[in-house]
Every structure is written in structure tokens, then in C-alpha cells.
Structure 1
């Protein structure tokens, strides 16, 4: 690992050959065509060996939630950039250089690309601090830390902590079609008609139903108000399913005839008008 790291030049420059040979970085145009695959292979090897660093940094920003996988991918991208920019000549361990590079990449992603509704920068930064601090506090306390406890730990007022925690929904707001308390947003919309246009029909239908006998009313009630199946109705009333079906058909025909044959209301001159 050390030999691999020390073979690269500043700011992602070409791989330096062993001592005693010409430095390909001194050649016009950098690496030759034959050395470029070696450089890419060395970078890939370093990145694969340090993927756990990227995953650890990603977890500190989002331990759970739908954005966790996206942040992990951004962390891998930051790791690749760290490999390309690392300069072993400065005497800094690769891990010490990679962590802030990966964290910076994730912060830029959260700031510029992740928020659907972008809160103030202060709220974003505090949310990040909470995401990093809350797991450690939960492990120390044996329970989830309250907003007040997080505020004391981070040096922020409780209401600011609550605001930052609430901003989590701004990352990916719920769809308007998402169900809430068993109903969708569409279920709460007003109907196209307020029913006034059907009021005359409902009055006529009520009058026709009132002219039915008790057993016919019960069948209608069970089938169309209680929404029982014909088989259930038959079992409870001592009828076969076929008898229930035929009786309901006769009742509907009777209602239809009474509605269509109902006497027309009189107009202002006392002349009946047809409603058929």
C-alpha cells in the first residue's frame, strides 16, 4: 500500500517510475499511452482498499433513510477524487487526506443537489451535526437523545434543533398522492358536483322506494347500502342466490317503471309537463 501511494505525483499527476529511470511527469504531455493503464490500475487499487473510509464518512451524514444510498455513492466519488489529488510527498497519511475530501463532496451534494426545498444554510449544517452526534449520544444514554439534550451537546437552542430535525422532510417531500390516515389527497378533494343537480331525481327515487313493501326495501338495503353479496343475503333470509338475484331484478324494474311513469308536476298554468 505504501509503495503504491508514494508512486504518485502532486495533484493527481502521473505515476512516477522507480528510482533510476526518467520521471514520466517531466515528459511533454505527461504519461505515455503505455503508462496510462498502469496509473488507472494503481488508482483503482487504492480506491478499493479504502472503500470502508468512504462508507464510514457516509454513515456519519445519513445512517438511515432513502438518501443514505445516494450519499454513499457520493462518498465513493469523493474517495476517487481523493485518490487522484493525493500527494504523498507532503507526509500526510492518505486516510487523513481522504476523510475531509469525502466529507466536502457530501456537503456539496447535500447543499446543491439534494434538497427539494432548500432551508437556510445554518439549518442544513445543524442537521448534519445532529446526524453525526445523535447516534453517539443514543449509545451513551441508552435511548434516543431529546432535542433539548442535543441542543446542550451542540450548543444550540432547543427550537433550532427541532427546526433542523423537521427540515429532514425537505430533502424528499412526500408525494401529494401518498396516503395519510388511510386516505389519499384525492379523497379529500370536493366532488365535481354538489348534488343539487340530482336533487329532483333523489326526491323521485325516495318516493318510489317508499311505495315498496318491507321485504323489497330490506333487499335493497342489504344489497346496495350494506353491500352484502347475493349469497350472504340468501343465507340470512332463507333464499337461494338465484332467488335473490331475480327478486332484486324485479324490484329495480318496478322502480324504473314508477320513476318513468310518475305523474309530471304541474307548471304555473296548471298544465302537467312530461318528465319521461
Structure 2
């Protein structure tokens, strides 16, 4: 257990903004963000406890690596339910930080090639690292999907009539999409092309493809949930 002297306490209180800045630099969003901030605060406390001004090093220069190290250990050891190789984990962290810095420098989101050049890594390796976010919190088969779990739905007897209604509703929803959104869905799910390959075809970066795909799927989901007959089957 750490005991904090009055001097260390002043260091902590005077550098809370620095801890928040370090936490933000890892570009972590979602339910884990408060945890990342708490880990950064813990690193700040440890840095204040161990700091020795006699070495002539400014406290921020000592505290930042300490907080970053605590966050990296937390991300490696606590956040991955399906654990990718450590090299992929480390590259994801580096890519997230480099992407934020490049975006400020370029005034736009960097392309995969620009990010890869900045990191001196192959684009395929960077794309894999950026796409491993789902390994942190994969969807459970026991998670509720409507009024039943996915596991129940997978083993449920299929009804041709229900299937027909679903196909018709999906077809109507897809008809409302733009030509680019339709092309995106066709290339990604029918042709099973990678996001990077789809981006090359559509003149977009891999990250832009990922975000457009997410928005398109959310839009389809909303259209299907609002389709006639859906309320009656889900209530």
C-alpha cells in the first residue's frame, strides 16, 4: 500500500490534468475509459511516491512514462477476453496514438498507408492491429438479442414464412441505402473482401470504410426494427 507524503500529495493534485492527457492519448473509448483514467491516476500516485527531485529531472518527464507503463500493463493483462499476440496489442496502442497525432498534423484522418509509414510497419499488420478491438469485448452467445439469446436463435427451428418476411424487410431497407453503401455491403459481405481492399476500390481509407460500415449496419438495424410486424414479434 502506498503512503503519500504531503509533498507527493501536492504533486498528484497539481498534475491531474497531465494524467487525463496521458489517458486520452491511448484513444480508449467506451465502458473501459473510466478504468483507463483510474489506472493513469494510479500511475501518477506511484510516480509522486518514487520521484526524487535531486536527480534534476522534472516531475512530468518522470511521471508520463510511469503512467503510460501502468496503462499498457492494464490493457495487456486486464482488457483482452480473446488475447491477440502481444506484438499486435502493442502495435494497436502505437497506432492509436500515432493516428491521433497524424490527424492533428494533416487536418484529416490519416490513411492506412500514411499510418503504416509513420509506424514503419506493413499496412496489413497495422490493419490487423486496428481491427483487433473486438477481441476486448466479443459478443456472447448468451447475450440477449431481442427476447432470446443468440444461442437460442441458432438452434431454433427455422420458419420459411418468417424467413420470407425477414428477407423482404431487409431488401426494402437495403433499397434505401446510397449506391456507395450498397457497394460497400456487397464487397464486404458477399465478396468477403477485406476492409482495406474495399477502401482501395471505393477510394477510402480502411478506417473510413470501418466507420461507414458501422453506420450502415446501424441504419439497417433501425430500418428492420421499425419495419411493420417487428413490434408484434419482439414485444
Whether the TM-score (by the shorter chain) exceeds 0.5 is: yes
TM range, smaller chain: 0.5 to 0.7
Q: Find the counterpart in structure 2 of residue 206 from structure 1.
A: none
Q: CA 1:76/1:186 → structure 2, altered by over 3 Å: closer, same or farther?
A: same
Counterpart Cα distance in 2 of 1:178 and 1:193: 19
Q: Find the counterpart in structure 1 of residue 7 from structure 2.
A: 42
User: What number of residue pairs does the alignment pair up?
Assistant: 158
Is residue 60 of structure 1 aligned with residue 25 of structure 2?
A: yes
Residue 189 of structure 1 aligns to a residue in which SS?
helix
Counterpart Cα distance in 1 of 2:155 and 2:110: 43
Q: Find the counterpart in structure 2 of residue 71 from structure 1.
A: 36
Is residue 162 of structure 1 aligned with residue 110 of structure 2?
A: no
Residue 131 of structure 2 aligns to a residue in which SS?
helix
1:258-269 matches, within 5 Å, as: none
Is residue 94 of structure 1 aligned with residue 71 of structure 2?
A: no
1:1-276 matches, within 5 Å, as: 40-176=5-141, 177=143, 179=145, 185-186=150-151, 188-191=153-156
Counterpart Cα distance in 1 of 2:27 and 2:93: 8
Counterpart Cα distance in 1 of 2:52 and 2:20: 22
Q: CA 1:114/1:63 → structure 2, altered by over 3 Å: closer, same or farther?
A: closer
Counterpart Cα distance in 1 of 2:56 and 2:153: 64
TM-score (norm 1): 0.51
Counterpart Cα distance in 2 of 1:141 and 1:185: 43
Counterpart Cα distance in 1 of 2:53 and 2:95: 34
Residue 64 of structure 1 aligns to a residue in which SS?
coil
Counterpart Cα distance in 2 of 1:135 and 1:185: 36
Counterpart Cα distance in 2 of 1:68 and 1:125: 18
Structure with more contact order per residue of length (Cα contacts < 8 Å, sep ≥ 6) = 2
Counterpart Cα distance in 1 of 2:88 and 2:34: 22
Q: 1:216-273: CA deviations, max 9, x gaps?
A: xxxxxxxxxx9xxxxxxxxxxxxxxxxxxxxxxxxxxxxxxxxxxxxxxxxxxxxxxx
**Which runs of no fewer than 5 residues in structure 1 stay unpaired?**
1-11, 13-35, 195-225, 227-276
Instruction: Please state how far the C-alpha of 1:179 moved relative to its aligned partner.
Output: 4.4
TM-score (norm 2): 0.60
Is 1:62–1:71's contact at 8 Å kept on the other side of the alignment? Answer: no
Counterpart Cα distance in 1 of 2:7 and 2:104: 39
**Which runs of no fewer than 5 residues in structure 2 stay unpaired?**
160-228, 230-235
Instruction: Please state how far the C-alpha of 1:178 moved relative to its aligned partner.
Output: 5.7
Residue 155 of structure 2 aligns to a residue in which SS?
coil
